Amino acid sequence: MFPSQRPRRLRSTAAMRAMVSETTLRPDQLVLPMFVKEGAGEPVGIASMPGVVQHTRDSLRKAAVDAVHAGVGGLMLFGVPTTRDAVGSGGTDPDGILNVALRDLKAELGDATVLMADLCLDEFTDHGHCGVLDADGRVDNDATLRLYADMALAQAEAGAHLVGPSGMMDGQVGVIRSALDKAGHLDTGILAYTVKYASAFFGPFREAVESQLKGDRKTYQQDPGNVREALRELRLDLDEGADLVMVKPGLPYLDVLRAVADASDVPVAVYQVSGEYAMVEAAAANGWLDRRRTIMETLTSLRRAGADVVLTYWAVEAAGWLRERDGLPR
Ligand code: PBG
């Protein structure tokens, strides 16, 4: 008996495969996360993220312009301050590095790209937590919300198109939305880090932002084994007015991404995080994986699982490969 059904027919030539390909990937669906460090000097490489740097204000401006020319859809900014305190003042201060850098990029790029900022205190606190601590050393949800509202205003005033609350405090989207609205920032959107796991895959990021964290974030980030609470977080963020929702990390949570994408009526982003980046770079550096093929396969998989937008440290390089493939001019 020979098969009468032969799926291989549709895989037989490149043209046939292209015609029936289900998943598309465009440069403008990719968002580049960028780090900017306070103070003078040169850009500093991040050892656990080869190819990624802590920018100076100057190098950030140039790299941002290059990224936009390469066709990426947006930029997500993180600040690395020189001093930190218990309440993360550098995040709410209009002259804090993140807000200054946003103003630089707004002046340079205007509306030519989508400017986003991580809205969280962990880069700015001396204890490294995403919020302020109460007398017992626990992260105080509601006291943190007040600071998030201030941080959102500072970022909106500095020119962010989207603010990205990533601290997993209950009610953060609602509080930020009402603060923005009250101040007249009706067009500043919220990209909510809706589903965020207490993940080991954020490891290299801690080096990237010089995090002071001891311990973990398990009282506010989600348990990796749970998916039900992801859907609850989604419902809450949609009710509170999120314009986009995000799942993070990416590759270990494709099932969660699919569940969120099926239930969301706003666009869904996914964050391919520092540890996902580091794993592939390390294996490729050893000659164990084909770097380009692996990167493109991960991005395709994130799109296939339901992501409309992918935050990835490979955004610029991948955008270049996509343009090469499609024969597009830069
Ligand atoms: C919080 C934040 C983190 C990341 C993005 N926003 C760290 C954390 O929550 O522990 C991680 C990004 C990455 O690993 O690439 N400011």
Provide block-wise average pLDDT over 10 residues at a time, the chain (330 residues): 96 96 96 97 97 98 98 98 97 98 98 98 96 96 98 98 98 98 98 98 96 92 97 98 98 98 98 98 98 98 98 98 80
| CA–centroid distance, residue 224 to ligand 1 (Å) | 15
pLDDT at 130: 97
Atom of ligand 1 at shortest range from CA of 33: 15
8 A C-beta contact, residue 197 and residue 222? yes
Least Cα distance to 82 among 44, 30, 131 occurs for: 44
Per-state percent for the chain, helix, strand, coil, to nearest 5: 45, 15, 40
The annotation status of 146 as a binding-site residue, yes or no, is no
Is this complex's ipTM strictly greater than 0.85? yes
Residue nearest to atom 14 of ligand 1 (CA): 202
Residue nearest to atom 7 of ligand 1 (CA): 202
| CA–centroid distance, residue 148 to ligand 1 (Å) | 16
Which of 62, 196, 214, 218 is labelled catalytic?
196
Q: In a mutational test of the pocket of ligand 1, which residue from 36, 172, 205 has the highest number of ligand atoms less than 8 Å from its CB?
A: 205
Provide the H-helix boundaries in the chain.
14-20, 57-70, 89-92, 97-109, 141-158, 172-182, 203-208, 228-240, 254-263, 274-285, 291-304, 315-326
The annotation status of 317 as a binding-site residue, yes or no, is no
pLDDT at 214: 87
pLDDT at 250: 98
Tokens read off for 60: 């950030």
Q: Which residues line ligand 1 (CB under 6 A)?
A: 118, 120, 122-123, 166, 202, 205, 217, 273-274
For the whole model, what pTM was predicted?
Answer: 0.97
pLDDT at 327: 77
Phi, psi at 117, each rounded to 5°: -135, 140
Task: Spell out the domain ranges in the chain.
Answer: 24-326
Topology at the third CATH level for domain 24-326: TIM Barrel (3.20.20)
Reported as half-sphere exposure (CB side, CA atoms, 13 A), residue 165 has a value of 34
196 is catalytic: yes
Which of 37, 62, 214, 248 is labelled catalytic?
248
8 A C-beta contact, residue 99 and residue 158? yes
Tokens read off for 117: 């900022």
Distance CA 274, CA 152 (A): 24
| CA–centroid distance, residue 176 to ligand 1 (Å) | 19
pLDDT at 330: 59
pLDDT at 95: 97
| CA–centroid distance, residue 283 to ligand 1 (Å) | 22
